[in-house]
A and B are shown apart, each in its own frame.
Chain A
Amino acid sequence: MKHWQQRSGKHEWTFARLQVFWLVVFLLFVILILRLGWIQLGVGEKYHQLAMENNFKQIPILAPRGKIFDRNGKLLVSNQSIFTAIYLEPDSSKEEKLKTAKALSKALRLPLAEVLEAMDVGLDEKGNRIPRRQPPYFPKKIKDRLTEKEVVILSENPEQFPGVNIFSEPLREYRKDTFAVQTIGYVRPFAGAKASLKKYRQAASKPEAGGYLDWEQVGMDGLEYSYQDQLRGKHGYRLVRVNATGKLVEVLKEVKPRPGNDLILSLDEKMQFGAEEFIENHLRSLRNTRGKDYAPYAKNAYAVAMEVKTGRIRAMVSYPDYDPNIWNGKVTAADYRNLSYVMRNGTIREAPYDARSADQPEQEYLKHPLSVLPLGSTFKPLTVLIGLNKGMISPHTVWSDPAAYYYAPGTPPVRNAGGHDYGALTPEKAIQKSANTFMAWTFTNWYRNEKQKSLRELEQITHAFGLGVSTGINLVGEQDGSEDYKVIAKRNSGLGAMALASFGQAQRYTALQLAQYTATLANNGVRVRPQLVERIVDPATGKAKEIQPEVLNRVPIKREYFDIVRRGMIQVTGPGGTASHLFDHLPFQVAAKTGTSEQDIPGRGRVENSVFIAFAPADDPEIAVAVVVPEGGYGAVAAGPIAEYLISAYYEQFMKQR
C-alpha cells in the first residue's frame, strides 16, 4: 500500500501542498475576521448594552423631603442624615452570594432570611433558587440607620462583603415633643405604602411616572400625605462604575438631588403646643378630681381653632398623640395595636377611645363614644337661625316655656336640662339658656308645615354651614359625619327626628366641621375653606407660593338673623349664660354655645359628651373654635375651658401685638 505521494520531479508536490496549506490558513483567518466583524459590528450594540449593565450602576441619591415649619418659621419636621448599606449585585456564584449574606447577617445582626430578602438575589437560606422581585442590576438597600460600629465593620473588610457599599441618605425626623402629630401625619417606606394606599399603588404600576424607590419614605397620613407631591424632592443619582466584585471603582457623574418644597403651616407653635399641654392637664384633672365635674373616662379631646375670615387653622389637636418617629423603624404588631388608638386625627374623622391602658383594649373601646359624636346643644344657634329664616319664629317672638313640651300625643315630652322652666323665651334667651323646648317647638312646627321638604331643607342648610359635608380641608380621610335624623325620620317619625335634630341629638359631626360651622355663623354665612398651609417654599430658589383664602359658599340668610343668634351666643358667656364663668379676663366679648350630647352605649347606658363652640371677638370675629371631649360631661365644664384657652392663646399670639 502506498502511504506517501510519489514524486516525479523533486519538489513539485511540496509546493502544491504548501499552497493548499496556505489556503486553509487563509480560510481560517477569513472565518475569524468574519466572526469578529459579526460580534463587534453586527451585534455589537447588544453587547455594548450588556457591558453598560455590567459596569455602570445608577445609584439614586434620595432627595430630602421638604421641611415643615410653623407660621413663624419654627422648625416642626426635618430630616436627619443616616448611613445605609446598599447592595450592588456582583456577577458571582450563588455560593459566594450566600456567603456574603451570611457575613452581613453576622455583621448587622439580622436574620439570614431577612438579609437575603433585602439583597434580592433570588436565593433562600438553603441556597434554593426563588424568584427575584427586581432586576439584578437595581441597587438594593440592606439596612439603614447603620451604627458607627456597623459602618466600620462593613468598610474595613470590603473583601468579606462584595457588592456592599455605604451611602448616606436622609431620614424623616419629627420633634420628640409630639407636635400636631396626626395633622402632620407620618411617612413610611414606599415598599409598604404601595400595598396599602391607592396613590402609591398607581405610582408603582407606572414606574416611569413616579420613579419611587422602594425605601423612599412617602407620606401616609396628614399633611405628609396630602402634600406628598410638594414635599417629595427630585432624586439625584450617582453614575458609578463598578468592578466584577460589585465594588464602586469611580463616580462618573453625580446629579445632586433637589430637596422637596418646604411647607409653612398656619399652625402657631405656641398655640398648638399650649393647647396640647393644656388639654393633657385639663383631662387629667377631670379624671382625677372627684366632685360634680368628675369625668373618669375623659381621656380624649379634639379641638380646632380656625380663623374666621381666612380659614387658617391655628391649632388642631387630636388628643392623645404619639411620637411619629416610631414609623422610621420596624413597627411590630403590638406597636401597631397601640398606635391604632392614637394615630387617627379625631378632629376630621372617627378616632377611638384611648383604651390602651385597659386589660382588653379591643373590647374596652367599644364601650365608649368615638370622636365623631352628636353635637348636642351647639346646634341650637343654627336651629334659631333656621327658625327665623323660615318664619317659624320672629325676632320678637316670646314663647312661654312649658318646661315639658309635648310635640305629639303619646310621646315623652321634651324637657330642658335639669327640668328647668325658663319662663318667657325670646330667640336670644333660648340660646343663652339652651332651652330644648324652644328648639323642639320651632323644628316640629317646621315639620308640621312642610313635612318631608323640611328634612331636605335642613340637610341643605346644614351643608351650607359645613355640617355633614366635607369641610374642604386638604387632609386625607376626612369624614362627613352622619345625619341620623334622616334614618330616624324614615324608620320612626319625621316629627321625632326633627325634635331630636333641633337640639343636636340626631346628627354627628367632626370637630373640624363644628369649627367651620362656628366660623360660618361668625362670618354671617360665608363659609371659607379651612387651610393648614400658608405658604409652599422652594428651598433652592426661595420662591414661595401663598395659599389664598377661599370662600366655599354663602348662606342666603339675612344679616339681622345672624345678629340675633350672635347676641344669644354672647349672652351664653354673660351673666346667666351656660358659660358665664368663662372668658372673663379677655378684653372683648366672646360668643359661644355649650353642648352636652347624650349617647346610649350598648351595655353601658347613657354617657354625656362635652361639646363647645365659640368665636371672638363677638362684634368683629377673628377666631372660631370647636372642642369635643367625649364623656367629658357638661359642655361648659370639660370642653369650655379648652375653648377658653384657645381663644386666650389666639389673643396672646395674634391680637395683642397689634
Chain B
Amino acid sequence: MKKSRLIWQIDVLLLMALFILATISIVSISSATHTGDQSYVEKQVWWYILGFLLMFAVLLFDYKILSQGRFLYLIYGFGILLLLLVWIPGLGVKVNGAQQWIRIGSFQFQPSELIKLILILLFAKLLSERETGKGRNSPVLGIMLALFALPFFIILSQPDLGTALVLVGILCSMLWVGGLDRKWFAWGLLFVSVAVGGIFLLYVTNHPFLHVIMEEHQISRIQTFLDPASDPTGAGYQLTQAKIAIGSGMLAGKGFHQGTQAQGNWIPEPHNDFIFAVFAEEFGFIGGSFLLSVYLVFFCRMILIASRADRRFGTYITAGVTGMLIFQVFQNIGMTLGLVPVTGLPLPFVSYGGSSLITQLMAVGLVLNVGMRTENDLLFHS
C-alpha cells in the first residue's frame, strides 16, 4: 500500500475524541489558572502542538520495525539509566516530595513517563515472539517480570506510587490480552483482595501488626481516604475541597470561569491533578459525563484497533497503551471523586503537562500507526 493512501486509514473517531479532549484541556486550564498565572493556557497549546507533531512523526514509520533486533533492549537500558539519573544532584529535581524529574537547562521531564512507553513496546515484542519465531520456548513470563521489576522498584523508591501502579496496569492488561492463563489472574486478584481486605481489617481494628508492615504516613493516607474530614488541612483538605467543587457544580455547572471553588483557589493543583474538579464544577454533570463519554469512545476505538491489528505486536502495543491510559484516567478521576486513595497522577490529555502529555500523544501515535497499517480485518480472516 502506498504511503499517501495510508493516511486515509487513520482512525478518525479516535482523532476526533483526542481533539475534543484537547479542547476540554485548554478550557479547563483556562478556568484553573484564570485568577493565577494565565500563561499556562498558551503553554499547553504549545505542548499540544509539539505533542501532535511528535504523534504524526510516530506515524511516519511502520511500527513493525520496532520489533526488529535488539533495538528495544537498548532503549530500555537507556530509560533505566535516565531513571537513575534522577538521583544525581544537580540533575534531579524534587517535586511534591518525589524525586522524579530531570532538569536539563530550563527543560524538565520525567524519565518515568518514557519508561512506560518502552515497557509497552518491549512487552509487546516479547509476547508476540512467544508464539512465533525465536522466542517460542523462552521463559517469557519470567523475563517480563524481571524487566518490569527493575523500573517498578526504582520508581517506587522515588517515591512515586502512582506511576509505579501504572506500570502494574500496563503489565496486567498486556498479560491478559497476551493470553496468560486465567488462573494467574484469579490468584492475583485473590492476593490483592486478601491484602487490601487484610490491611483494611487491621486498620479498622487498629491492630498493632499494621504498624509493623506499614509506615505512619501510609496509614494516615488510608485514614484520609476513608475519612477526609480527619485531616482537613492536608491531603484530606484537598480532597474535600475538590469534592465540594464537583458536587456544587450539580447538573449544569456554574459556567465557564464562574466556578467559585476554582476561581477562589480552593482547589489544589487545579491545572494538574485536580483538573477534573475544575471542569466538573463549571460544567456540571452534563460536562463531566460528556468528558467521561469521550474517554469511553476513545478507549473503544483503541480496543477496536487492537482487535483489528494484523500483527500481534500491534495488538499488544495497543492493549498496553490502553491499559496505561485507562489506569490513569480511572485513578485520577476516581481520586477526585473519593473512590480511590490520592496518588499524584495527572489526567491524561487534560491536565497541564509537558512530558506526560508528550508521552501520551506519542503512545496514541503508536496506536494510530497500528490502526493505519492494518491490511484487512485479519482477526476474522485467514
Contacts and interface: CB of A to CB of B under 8 A. Distances in A.
Nearest to A54: B266
Contacts of B338: 35, 39
Given A4-B130, A47-B244, A41 B285 contact: yes
A95 to B, nearest CB: 9
A48 B249 CA distance: 7
Contacts of A52: 248, 260
Contact of A243 (B246, B247, B249, B264): B264
Nearest to B253: A40
B292 A29 contact: yes
Interface in B229-276: 232-233, 237, 241, 243-251, 260-261, 263-266
Contacts of B289: 33, 36-37
Nearest to A93: B233
A26 B339 CA distance: 16
Interface in B32-51: 35
Chain B CB count within 10 A is highest, among A10, A32, A33, A43, for A32
Nearest to A18: B307
A36 B288 contact: yes
Contacts of B303: 18, 21-22, 25
The interface centre, meaning the residue of A21, A22, A241 with most chain B CB atoms within 10 A of its CB, is A21
Given A51-B244, A51-B261, A91 B266 contact: yes
A93 B238 CA distance: 12
A242 interface: yes
B233 A5 contact: no
Interface string A53-68: 0111000000000000
A40 to B, nearest CB: 4
B299 to A, nearest CB: 5
A5 B264 contact: no
A35 B306 CA distance: 29
Interface residues of B, number: 60
A50 interface: yes
Given A31-B339, A32-B292, A14 B307 contact: yes
B177 interface: yes
A548 interface: no
A48 B176 contact: no
Interface in B141-192: 141, 173, 176-182, 184
B337 interface: yes
Interface stretch (B70-78, B204-212, B326-334): B326-334
B312 interface: yes
B372 to A, nearest CB: 19
A656 interface: no
B306 A48 contact: no
Contacts of B265: 243-245
Contacts of A43: 247
Nearest to B182: A5
B280 interface: yes
Contact of A40 (B232, B247, B266): B247
B375 interface: no
A32 B330 contact: yes
A7 interface: yes
B315 A14 contact: yes
B179 A14 contact: yes
A46 B247 contact: yes
Contact of B247 (A5, A10, A44, A92): A44
A35 B288 CA distance: 11
Nearest to B333: A32
Contact of B249 (A10, A28, A40, A56): A40
A242 B261 CA distance: 10
B296 interface: yes
A4 B181 contact: yes
A130 to B, nearest CB: 17
Contact of B180 (A3, A7, A32, A244): A3
Interface string B271-302: 00000000010001100110010011001100
Contacts of A48: 247-248, 250
B376 interface: no
Contacts of B243: 39, 47
Tell me which of A13, A28, A46, A93 has the highest count of chain B C-beta atoms within 10 A of its own C-beta: A28
A56 B260 CA distance: 9
Most-contacted residue by chain A among B35, B182, B337 (CB, 10 A)? B337
A21 B181 contact: no
A36 B280 contact: yes
A128 B279 CA distance: 38
B202 interface: no
What 4 A-B pairs are tightest by C-beta distance, nearest first? A47-B247, A51-B248, A44-B250, A55-B260
5 contacts: A10-B382, A25-B296, A44-B247, A44-B250, A241-B260
Given A40-B280, A93-B233, 14 more contacts: A7-B179, A17-B176, A17-B179, A20-B176, A25-B299, A31-B334, A33-B289, A40-B250, A41-B250, A41-B285, A51-B261, A91-B232, A241-B263, A243-B264
Interface of B: 35, 130-131, 140-141, 173, 176-182, 184, 232-233, 237, 241, 243-251, 260-261, 263-266, 280, 284-285, 288-289, 292, 295-296, 299-300, 303, 306-307, 312, 315, 319, 322, 326, 330, 333-334, 337-339, 378-379, 382
Interface of A: 2-5, 7, 10-11, 13-15, 17-18, 20-22, 25-26, 28-29, 31-33, 35-37, 39-41, 43-48, 50-52, 54-56, 91-94, 241-245, 249
